[in-house]
Copies of this chain bind each other. A is one copy, B any other.
Amino acid sequence: MEHAKPLPTYLVQRYHGWKATTWEENRSWYRRLAEEGQRPRAMVISCCDSRVHVTSIFGADQGEFFIHRNVANLVPPYEPDGEPHGTSAALEFAVTALKVAHVIIVGHSYCGGVKGCHDMCSGTAPALEEKTSFVGRWMDILRPGYERIKDLPEGERLTALEKQAVLVSLENLMTFPFVRSAVEAGEISLHGLWNDIGEGGLEQFDPASGRFVAI
């Protein structure tokens, strides 16, 4: 790979700072994690967005969360077609190999992927409809969610669609046989959250009311 470049100096310096402090002060924990392997309590599926780091929000240290991050925190439906499915692979590894006790979907405000889905479905972003658009084809997963919110007033649609990204993912989770059987056996629990970036808010889906409510 002749194109690889040296890491920018500011990151090299920060790494050395981390090594001399955080790693040095916790070396016994890092070594134990290396030797004994990880045993995370939860899998978190959140967005790639640089503004949402669940390790910060939940004060989680190394070893607590197995974290998959993709555009718009989406879980596709179960489709064992022999093709590579990164999200399904992460889910299978977490549930069947690591045996996590929780799967937590974390959506958020101002999600660029969700906005793309909205624009595509409402006809204002035709480029995303093209076969070659990876973002468009990925956001197809959220089309069933768009159908449910498309008649809302315009000002409410994006937030509603961000929350649909959580709900559609929760629904798709249950199409995986190994998730469904674990849920039904009480071995795993599912959770849906939505984070308001600007206000630091956190809402969770409440099945009784069918709404997201502040925690």
Interface residue ranges, A against B (CB under 8 Å): 1-41, 43, 48-53, 55-71, 74, 76, 80-94, 97-99, 101-102, 104, 109-110, 112-113, 131-135, 137-141, 167, 170-171, 174, 182-183, 186-193, 196-200, 202, 204-207, 215
Q: Chain B nearest CB: distance from A134 CB in Å?
A: 4
Whether the pair B30, A200 counts as a contact (CB closer than 8 A) is yes
Q: Chain B nearest CB: distance from A98 CB in Å?
A: 8
Alpha-carbon distance between A163 and B197 when the two chains are bound, in angstroms: 35
Whether the pair B101, A18 counts as a contact (CB closer than 8 A) is no
Alpha-carbon distance between A202 and B116 when the two chains are bound, in angstroms: 36
Q: Chain B nearest CB: distance from A12 CB in Å?
A: 5
Q: Chain B nearest CB: distance from A136 CB in Å?
A: 8
Whether the pair A82, B137 counts as a contact (CB closer than 8 A) is yes
Contact A58/B215 with A82-B137, A138-B85 known, Cβ cut-off 8 Å: no
- Other contacts beyond A4-B205, A19-B200, A31-B186: 13, CB < 8 A: A4-B190, A5-B191, A6-B206, A13-B18, A18-B200, A28-B101, A51-B63, A53-B55, A70-B70, A74-B86, A84-B138, A91-B134, A92-B135
